[in-house]
Amino acid sequence: MPIGPMDEYLAHQTTETFDYVQTSDRNFYDRYYFNMHDSTGDFFMVAGMGQYPNLGVLDAFVAISVGTKQYVVRASRALGHDRLDTQVGPFRIEVLEGLQSLRLQCDKNEWGLHFDLRFDGTIPALEEPRTFTRKGSRVRMDVSRYAQVGCYTGSLEVDGQTHEVTPDRWKGARDRSWGIRPVGEREPAGIGIEEVMQGKHGFYHHWIPLQLDRGMVKVMYEADYEGTVTVEEAAFIPAFGEGDSRGEIEKFGIPKIEVDYLSGTREMAAATTTLSPLPTLSAPSPNDVLTIRSLPQRTVYLAAGTGYLPTDEWGHGFYKGPLVVEGLSFDMSTQAQRSQYAILNETLCRFELSTGEISYGMHENMCIGVYQPHGFNEPGTQAP
């Protein structure tokens, strides 16, 4: 049981050192996620870092959509015994104030993409619903997470352009998640292949951290191939300084999301989200409905080089050696080029609310395999 710097802290929850997690499941992970935009629709960045203790890997990436290109820098190394060491190639993340402020860095490199950024939350971090699913008798996902919107400060260079990042304009969201989900090299499907052969395999997903001056409207919705909801959340969290209490949450009912697809794809052309307040004793039949129109501006395609969906030999938790750093660029100028990566889509949208408010931010969307409610009755079915 090797000891490391984390073992100095009064934070143990088992008799093991921090070198060991509470499960031997190879799919245990611990991850940071960030996105950032310039409030115009011209620039969108997604970055992440993950540790995979049972695979012995630490990796990180940044992907930026600007113009007609998507630029990616990614790095992977052996995890080692110091879980507090987040340096992997040019990347590192530093917690400045827990649940409030973090520093993200990507040092100068041969691909000309580097940054030094500080994220400051504008709302309290929101603990999201826990995700738990099984595939047959095995746990497929058991994930805890929280989300937060905020502003960025610092500097960034990409594609020969230097950007001064100021909090009045540069905004975005972050996510922390940990637990069990498929990571690392692909495992044999075993009897699970029967689901695919019987047309019972599909996943439908939306994640919307909508940032407003007064707070965050947060929507999460996941369903299986039949449309059975597996996770759902809709809430409003006021910004710091709004209202009488910090972080008082207003809950909505199950969100209703209607998607318009680009013809011949499953990529979102637009979407309308309808949120109805939960009934209360004083208002048993609420009619103050909030609608949100999502109008895509540009997309970071996570299947293009980030490791979320390993379309090449790089995936989250893949062991690449003691240290590997790579840079890539993708031409996204045509629909045909984009469609090969349009699987898990970080879509920067202009949001138009029924309140008259306008905002920019991400509407993450994914529809893979079979999804019967939208007429996708075969894995390869596309929108008409």
d(CA 216, CA 233): 13
d(CA 281, CA 301): 45
d(CA 306, CA 312): 10
φ, ψ of residue 88 in degrees (nearest 5): -140, 105
Buried b (16+ CB within 10 A) or exposed e, 163-190: bebeeeebbbbbbbbbbbbebbeeeeee
* 214 Ramachandran zone, left/alpha/beta (phi>0; psi -120 to 50): alpha
d(CA 302, CA 368): 14
d(CA 4, CA 15): 14
Q: pLDDT of the chain along its 384 residues, tens only?
A: 689 999 999 999 999 999 899 999 999 999 999 999 999 999 999 999 999 999 999 999 999 999 999 999 999 999 999 999 999 999 999 999 999 999 999 999 999 999 999 999 999 999 999 999 988 888 999 999 999 999 999 999 999 999 999 999 999 999 999 999 999 999 888 888 888 788 888 999 999 999 999 999 999 999 999 999 999 999 999 999 865 445 579 999 999 999 999 999 999 999 999 999 876 554 445 568 999 999 999 999 999 999 999 888 999 999 999 999 999 999 999 999 999 999 999 999 999 999 999 999 999 999 999 999 999 999 999 999
The answer to whether 83 touches 4, Cβ cutoff 8 Å, is: yes
Domain residues of the chain, as ranges?
Answer: 29-374
Measured in whole angstroms, the distance separating CA 194 from the mean position of its chain's CA atoms is 29
The answer to whether 164 touches 38, Cβ cutoff 8 Å, is: no
- Indicate the pTM of the whole model: 0.95
Strand partners, 300: 346
At 93, list the tokens: 């993340």
Domain 29-374 = CATH 1.10.10.10: no
